[in-house]
Amino acid sequence: MPSPHFVPAFAALLVYALVSPLYAGQQTASQASNASSAKDKSSAKLPSPDEELQRTLSEAGSDRAALLRSLEGFLKKYPDYPNRTSIYRALVEASLQLKDNARAADYSERMVSLNPNDISILLLAIELLERQEDQAGFRRAVSYSTRILDLVERASPAERSSRVSLEQWEQQKKSDLANTHFLRGDLYFKLRDYDAARKDLGTSYEAFPSAAAAERLGETAELQKDLNTAIQEYARAFALAEGKSGTVSREEIRKKIGNVWRLGHGSEKGLGEYLLNTYDAVTRPALGKRNEGVKEFPAFALRKASNGAPYSLKDTKGKVVVLNFWATWCGPCHALEPLFAHVAADFRSSPEAIFLSADCDEDETLVAPYLQKDKVTTEVVFADGLDRLFSVNSFPTVIVIDRDEKIAFRSDGFQPDTFERDLSAAVRKALDKTDPRPED
């Protein structure tokens, strides 16, 4: 399963890659400067900025503090020096070696001002701003990550190398977008903007599921007191983590999900089974759509949400079936459920009326904890393609199928004051309808 290449601390490695252009020819330049010193002394000309810079580097040698002072002095003397980016790179490296992170961040942002569309420099500035751990720095880092996102989104296949296939290029772009959304989501998390963080982190996870994104989503949900979502995300992180050697520690995730599960359930009973089911759902190869190609209602083979047991619709032929299409994340669905249950209870004595709640969650691991918490009284099944059959595009949607397998009633959304009355009337009308008898 693909996972993001981004590691939050990787930008620090760029520092040393970025400084190399300034030092790559230092020895040669120094030797050249020494070799030409006699000529310089014999001439009355003043040294050029380039010559003065090379002398500055030579005199500083391996003393990073001296180099820092010398280069800053050079920039004061030549504030418009054309190759300031290389000098800023050297200043960033020297500042980091001297553990002056604030100065390193300052020079990285000066590099950004000169190279606003250089992604490697933007990443460097973000990494160094994160080290400052202050809100103003995080906000500037968010703006830089947004700029990276815009650059990646605007990238055109025409710009790719001839050695890279279109498929490889598209896959890399998808990965880059996932990495950047993760980066920005992590910054929003540090700014305590949890709604924005969940949006970016969720986008990253959907593109390339990763333990890092899932863990951050779990932490965000936990801070927002959304325990069910926190459990789900921590379980995903647990399934994707690589022991202690990966960027996310499975041992740490185990502690986090255990704590949240106990908060929500009072003990860890049921956690092991939940983790195994999540692991299967996360790591199992994607399967084809269930009931794909099935076009007749009684031919659908569904599954009970409680235990995964099969639930065939063949036995519903000639009966009235009432379907409530819902999802765990749908607020109105939660409000409708007890009303739907009241109507179902009114027809409990009628074997000809069948009430089903059809869950449409893409992530089925959300359903079990929801049902355990809310104690839904009607039979709950996974939609398994019924939503496609009936073109359900919004939730909740309630449909009554009459004895002829035709839609007798449909409500997309609902009116709380009239829902029970209208649904009850539709069910009674469908039950009263009989198949026309052929004449003798």
CA distances for 392 relative to 48, 114, 304, 389, angstroms = 74, 52, 20, 8
Fold category of 297-432 in CATH: Glutaredoxin (3.40.30)
**How confident is residue 18, by pLDDT bands cut at 50, 70 and 90?**
very low
Mean pLDDT of 312-325: 93
SS3 state at 272: helix
Distance CA 340, CA 426 (A): 13
- pLDDT, average across residues 245-255: 83
- DSSP for residue 381: E
Beta bridge partners of 354: 321
Confidence (pLDDT) at 438: 47
Of residues 244 and 305, the one with the higher pLDDT is 305
Residue located via tokens 């459990």: 231
The per-residue pLDDT for 59 is 87
Tell me, which fold does domain 11-36+47-157+164-222 have in CATH? 1.25.40
Per-residue pLDDT reduced to its tens digit, 163-209: 888 888 998 999 999 999 999 999 999 999 999 999 999 999 998 89
Check whether 15 has a pLDDT greater than 70: no
For 88-93, what is the mean pLDDT?
Answer: 94
Q: What pLDDT is attached to residue 244?
A: 58
Evaluate the omega torsion of the peptide bond into residue 79 and state whether it is cis, within 30 degrees of 0: no
Question: By the 8 A CB rule, do 380 and 367 touch?
Answer: yes
Residue extents of the structural domains in the chain: 11-36+47-157+164-222, 223-285, 297-432
Phi, psi of 156 (to 5 degrees): -110, 145
Mean pLDDT of 337-360: 95
What DSSP element (H or E) covers 371? helix 367-374
CB count in 10 Å sphere of residue 240: 25
Q: Is this prediction's pTM over 0.85? A: no
Q: Which residue has the higher pLDDT, 374 or 406?
A: 406
Token pair belonging to 278: 């999540």
C-alpha separations of 309 from 226, 304, 305 in Å:
29, 5, 8
C-alpha span between 208 and 185 (Å, rounded): 14
